Chain A
Amino acid sequence: MLLPYFEWVNNLPVSRAIGESALIYPVVQSIHLVFLALLVGGIFMVDLRLMGTSLTSLPLAKVARDARPWVIWGLVGMLVTGIPQLMQNATREYHSEFFWFKMQLLPVALIYHFTLRHRITMAAEGRVPPILSKLAGVVSIALWTSIAVSSRFIGLFT
């Protein structure tokens, strides 16, 4: 159903220009990964704190609030560097199961991150049962790791 749109994007002059340059695609891919580091750095440090409730005096809400701008910068950077990669490879990505898996998980992870996880990290210490906050951390790490794995697989298995 969406194939004509993917083909249209794929054949845009801009997309072809990216494809013809030997430099743009590899450089954009690399920067995409630098922003991934920023993103998962900000997310995982809070997840690990969620999972280790009894282990630390680190104030959860404060750390989560301070991590937020970096997570958002990470997301913006990944989006900006992700779009040209998709444009250049639109038709190929359309046929990749891993691409669709990623595109389904991504909204789930984002909604989870900014709703449920946000509320759990901002709740007053002691108000969230430890088992729930542990689960919140595990779910977040699992979601973002799955997205990263499926993304790497797009390139490896298509």
Chain B
Amino acid sequence: MVELLSPLRAVFEWVGALENSIALRESIYAWALVLTTHVIFLCSFAGLITMMDLRLLGIGHMGTPFSQLQRWLFPWQMATLAGSSITGLVLVFSDPMRFYVSIFFWVKMATMALAAVNAMAFHFIAYERIAEWDTSPVPPLGARLAGGLGMLLWANIIVNGRLIPYNWFL
């Protein structure tokens, strides 16, 4: 793990030495406000994704066809994803080494990559045949799998994010 990441260490150290990075790190209020905004955006995003996932699993929002529900949720999912990504980048920018040394941070990043793969797989497999199951009470296996995985992955991302301040594995 450590060897795998070591080429990145120089980049993280370089960013951490930038004037703006130091200024942000030393400002108590800026850091706290960006962190709080990040938590709220991330939980809102994960929540809006979870609502879609519950529909994919066939256990929630069954009164609405999937396509209709998701057409409504999608722009808000994108808006909250943008909000959490921007605030997340600012947090890493302001204190890169804090994140570099945290196993939870890297697990969070890896889990996000898996969640993206899961979303793409859903888009190109189950969603291709949406017309066949849009109003069906039991979505196809591919859709249920994507929904279940999505919920698990995003719960994991929240948990790992919250655990970043704890350095149990150092």
Contact = CB atoms under 8 A, between A and B. Distances in A.
B50 A65 contact: no
Nearest to B51: A41
B35 A152 contact: yes
A139 to B, nearest CB: 17
Contacts of A45: 47-48, 51, 72-73, 76
A44 B61 contact: no
Contacts of A104: none
A39 B38 CA distance: 17
Contacts of A27: 159
B43 A33 contact: yes
B63 A65 contact: yes
Contacts, number: 102
B166 interface: yes
Interface string B31-75: 010011001101110111111001000001111100011001100
A127 interface: no
A48 interface: yes
Interface residues of B, number: 33
Interface residues of A, number: 37
A40 B76 contact: no
Contacts of A66: 60-64
B72 A149 contact: no
A45 B50 CA distance: 11
Closest 8 CB pairs of A and B: A41-B47, A30-B159, A37-B46, A30-B162, A37-B47, A37-B43, A62-B63, A66-B61
Given A31-B159, A38-B47, 7 more contacts: A29-B162, A30-B158, A37-B154, A70-B50, A70-B51, A152-B39, A156-B36
24 contacts: A22-B168, A26-B166, A30-B163, A31-B159, A36-B47, A38-B47, A41-B44, A41-B48, A41-B51, A42-B51, A45-B47, A45-B48, A58-B72, A62-B63, A63-B61, A66-B61, A66-B64, A69-B60, A70-B60, A148-B43, A149-B36, A152-B39, A153-B32, A156-B36
